[in-house]
Structure 1
Amino acid sequence: MIKSIGAALLAALFLFGTVLSVKAQDVTLTSRDSKVELSGMLLGFDGEFYRLATDYGELTIDGSGVLCDGPGCPDLQDYVAELSISGASTLGAVVMPALIESFAQKNDYLTEREEGDDLGTFTYLIRRADDGKLAARFRFRVTNTDEGFADLLADEADIVMSLREIRPDERVRARETGMGDMTGINRSRVLALDAIVPVVSGTNPVRGISPADLAQVLAGHITNWKALGGPDVPIDLHLPDDASGLGQAIVDQLLRPTSLETFTQTAMRHPTPEALAEAVASDTFALGLTSYADRGGTQALMLTGACGFSMEASRRTIKTEDYPLTAPMFLYFPARRLPQLAREFLAFTREPAAQIVIRRSGFVDQTPEEIAVEEQGNRFTNAIAQAGGEITLGELQRMTSTLVPMARLSTSFRFEAGSIRLDAQSRSNVQQLARALEVGQYDARSLLFVGFSDGNGAAEANREIALRRADAVRRAVSEAAVTANLERVDLGVDAFGEAMPMACDDSSWGRQANRRVEVWVR
């Protein structure tokens, strides 16, 4: 119980929140001046803070200000950080282990992997290189995205590996269990980039498909290759496991935008992406949906539009989000304090060394690239071809004279469908660009945030909307770059509205691709 309570002392001592769970036992925490004593069940200790269940609710207490007494008190001298990670096998099988080993090597730790008794479980033991003492245990349960969120909500995981954004019902349940708003800033992180790609055998004559037709195939409304410009034979559809994060991302990005909710029942489901790629590669009339990283020996189809635009998935088009079916790979963590070593590992995942590991693992990293105008394909040619009407020669000349002396950054910003909120990859890009400004990567250079729009509505109104979006992104990046000296870099804004379309405006995918903010540098 509390012997004496002062409002000011409590405000300084007790921080509401949560930390990593450990074995629960009763303890008593006493302030170093012995004026405050608190008893309760120890729920966790992260090396710095205690988490207690008390008569006053769950409290988090700074360990530097108290003494612990009781059978559950941790050994402060030989504290071992504990972290539980659960979710998608795509991340857990290769990327996360590779990142842990790279992090350990950089920070003078030794790693040892222990396989668990259950399939898909293993533990990384992280020891100090100088004395061999155990510093941390990172426990993995590798299953799928749904299982990862279920473990988080059951307080059996600290980090979720996810191939999709958190669903609304998961977000509600997380908030109800005291985990905070999982869509808030610093509650998730884009670890790597990927994309959903339609794939066929190399012997299939079809080389492109529109997103709208692809959705119709998935729903079972198109069943013959003839409707897609191919031979008069049935389509053999191959899809990922519907419980996988990729399978759910396909629903979110292809079916729901067209008000289609269910897949055709004739599709062949595959437990692994390797099995899907092998089946499609060996069947001339198969059509599969998989990730860019796992396309294997198949041929990826271009996404096409009725107006003549097409886009092929590549490392660069995925980075810029010019390819519309991007599929970022996430880490989610609740609003509780993780052990210091775990926080250091999460910080490492944003560093350049981590981006190299991600790229070597077969995924698309988030390192910004500068793309010269001559490397941007037919973008300016398309702008000229689409000119006329409200897009004047003068506006095209202004855009050309502004952008040609500069290079485009692969860091781009797009918005959620029907919303002014940045999409997940773009929210991550805000943090990435802010961090680059903080370390002085663009000192003595100029960054121009350039807004573009779709072609719906009046051209001048679209340009004004695009300009406001560009300014909003610039302000978001500036506010996130807390320690940057912004006097050393010129951050400007401009907009050209619908002058440089990336896709056709006759679909939601095309309009979303066209509504964007690019960053140009010189």
Structure 2
Amino acid sequence: MPRAMTASDKDMWGRGLSMLLLGFICYAFPWSVFAAQPETVLRIQGSNTIGAKLGPALVKGMLEEEGLRAVHQTPGDRENEVHIVAHDAQGKEIQVELAAHGSSTGFVALKESSADLAASSRPIKDAEAQDLSSFGDLRSQHAEQVIAIDGLAIILHPGNPLRALTTAQLAAVFAGEVKTWEELGGKGGAIHLYARDDQSGTYDTFKELVLVRQGKALAATAQRFESNDKLSAAVSADPQGIGFVGLASINQARALAIADGDSLAMPPSAELIATEDYPLSRRLFLYMKPGEQNRWAKALVQFAQSARGQAIVGQSGFVAQQVLAIKVQTKQDMPENYRELASNAQRLSVNFRFQEGSATLDNKAQRDVQRVLDYLKQTNKLEQKVVLVGFGDPKADPQRAELLSKLRAMAVRRELTKGGVTLRDVTGLGDELPVAANTAEEGRIRNRRVEVWVY
């Protein structure tokens, strides 16, 4: 007859069973599963244009600026997602999560509180602002942060000889109405279309600046991509291809010069994108809820606007918002006084623009005031060295157009005067030298601008 188990037997049996169970768990599951996971301190969702390169670079720079160590990037749970991991002074591991699935996803995530910042390669839409209005005004200067300027590049295979197109021609091509390269004066047969997906801010920008203005829609035959870089690679490999990407993703493809309305054909050069004169230039944004308390979100926004942050913008293939002086080539079709400026002065790489239907400087322009003031102080040009030139859209009375353009320049003068600037001259050139078509409100807003020239 088996003897009854003693307390000692039970204890040995329990220890043996525990060891067996622990051995099974260690075999079946890697120990890393049970390791402490990094604390997520910041979540960013939205634009692939920002999330692919610029966002991670800015986050790394911000973490280093905050004194964190061993900053590195690891893959996220899905494609176009990454984690930026670092250690604080106490050795604690933290991470920032970035998901880059398109600008619209960022605003959805803000509403659902699954993100602290929305990255967007276009301005917030009216419907999105309304949807988030319970959190405050997402268009306020605090909530809306322009972190970089980008140019939407129209790209071809490097062997394609075509050099320039108008926005009207572009719309006809991407609507599928122009089907062959021969119809554009080139060669190569059928045109193959490449476009970003519907979640993309890059696509939204192209749709608004090109397709919608011409009353057209994207052809169903276009191949769609979530990634700028993958689209660029596809066009580079297709002699019949044409597509659109952010400036940082031109890579091996070749970019066209683009004309809009009465503007000259302009390449997506850094200077023309910095001033937003290039017809397909656009702003890149970070949006956060007004009153956001996440210190890491506020630190990233502040870092992105700093000199070091803007240096990272330039290193990432985008156009930084630092102020530079540019020599402009004189042309015979320039107004006489403007030609005199181009001959004897330099233009700064910033244009002041205004809120829609208002003489109030927009959010970017309000920050640009300080950037211009800093430049003028550093270069000793505060006294009688600055000329402001205002521009606008056509009016029935040309004198009214000229007056309105000068009033815009005077609005900028008021802000610069507060910073100690004594101007050399303030003038308005009405609807001269347009940079966009005046047939749509977006184009008229772009033409309502103030240039800064320095002697």
TM range (shorter): 0.7 to 0.9
- Aligned counterparts, 1:263-342, within 5 A: 263-304=218-259, 309-342=264-297
Larger Rg: 2
- Structure (1/2) with the larger strand percentage: 1
Determine the C-alpha separation between the residues in 2 that align with 1:274 and 1:117.
18
| Matching residue of 1:206 | 162
**C-alpha distance in 2 between matches for 1:363 and 1:431:** 18
Shift of 1:402: 5.3
Does the 8 A contact of 1:187 with 1:335 survive in 2? yes
Aligned to 2:332: 381
Residue in structure 1 matched with residue 107 of structure 2 by the alignment: 149
Give the whole-Å Cα distance in 2 for the aligned partners of 1:147 and 1:256: 22
1:199-244 residue CA offsets vs partner (Å, 9 max, x unmatched): 2122223211110111122222222323322248322111112221
- Structure 1 partner of 2:26: none
In structure 2, what is the equivalent of residue 162 of structure 1? 120
Render the CA deviation track for 1:224-277: whole Å, top value 9, x for unaligned: 3233222483221111122212112211211222233x3111112123222222
Q: Is the 1:86–1:161 Cα contact (8 Å) retained in structure 2? A: yes
1:103–1:345 Cα contact (<8 Å) kept? yes
- The equivalences for 1:35-46 within 5 A come to none
Per-residue Cα deviation, 1:324-360 (whole angstroms, up to 9, x for no partner): 1112211000112323454233212111111111111
Aligned partner of 1:408 in structure 2 is: 347
1:106 corresponds, among 46, 65, 71, to 65
Name structure 2 gaps, 5 residues minimum: 1-38
Q: Distance in 2 between matches of 1:356 and 1:186?
A: 22
Between stretches 351-360 and 298-307, larger displacement belongs to: 298-307
Shift of 1:85: 1.5
Going from structure 1 to structure 2, the CA distance change for 1:334 and 1:259 (only over 3 Å counts) comes to same
Shift of 1:278: 2.3
Please, which moves more after superposition, 115-124 or 149-158? 115-124
1:131-176 deviation digits (Å, cap 9, x = unpaired): 4456x6533333222221111110111101111111221111101x
Return the alpha-carbon distance in structure 2 between the equivalents of residues 341 and 305 of structure 1.
41
The Cα of 1:518 is off from its aligned counterpart by 0.6
Are 2:260 and 2:436, in contact at CA under 8 Å, matched by a contact in 1? yes
Is 1:434 aligned to residue 370 of structure 2? yes
Alignment check: 8 A CA contact 2:188 2:240 kept: no
Question: Is 1:185–2:136 an aligned residue pair?
Answer: no
Aligned to 1:7: none
Cα distance in 2 for partners of 1:342, 1:213 equals: 42
Query: Which of 194, 215, 227 is equivalent to 2:171?
Result: 215
- Cα root mean square deviation, aligned: 3.1
Aligned-partner residue type, residue 329 of structure 2: G
Q: Deviations along 1:163-197, whole A, 9 cap, x unmatched?
A: 1111221111101xx21111122111111221112
Residue equivalent to 1:92: 51
Other-structure match for 1:19: none
Higher helix share: 2
Whole-Å Cα distance in 2 between the matches of residues 114 and 507 of structure 1? Answer: 43
TM superposition score normalised by structure 1: 0.71
When residues 299 and 140 of structure 1 are mapped into structure 2, their CA distance, relative to the original with a 3 A threshold, is closer
Describe the SS at the equivalent of 1:381. coil
Distance apart, 1:421 and its partner CA? 6.9
Q: Distance in 1 between matches of 2:318 and 2:368?
A: 17
Task: Tell me the equivalent position of 1:497.
Answer: 430
Name the structure 1 match of 2:399: 460
- Please tell me the residue identity of whatever aligns with 2:53: V
Closer/same/farther in 2, CA of residues 314 and 434 from structure 1, 3 Å limit:
same
Gaps (5+ residues) in structure 1?
1-79, 385-395, 479-483
CA gap 1:361/1:126 in 2 versus in 1, 3 angstroms: same
TM-score, with length taken from structure 2: 0.80
- Does residue 73 of structure 2 align to residue 118 of structure 1? no
Q: Distance in 2 between matches of 1:307 and 1:146?
A: 32
- The answer (yes or no) to whether the contact 2:157–2:237 under 8 Å persists in 1 is yes
- For 1:219 and 1:304, locate their aligned partners in 2 and report how far apart those are by CA, in whole Å: 18
Structure 2 distance, partners of 1:405, 1:117, is 53
Determine the C-alpha separation between the residues in 2 that align with 1:339 and 1:325. 34
Q: Distance in 2 between matches of 1:308 and 1:155?
A: 43
Q: How many residues align?
A: 413
Asked whether the 8 Å contact 1:190–1:331 carries over to 2, the reply is yes
For the 8 Å contact 1:88–1:161, the answer to whether it is kept is yes
Shift of 1:488: 5.4
Distance 2:76 2:398 in 1: 63
**Cα distance change, pair 422–327 in 1 and its aligned pair in 2 (3 A):** farther
- Per the alignment, residue 481 of structure 1 pairs with none
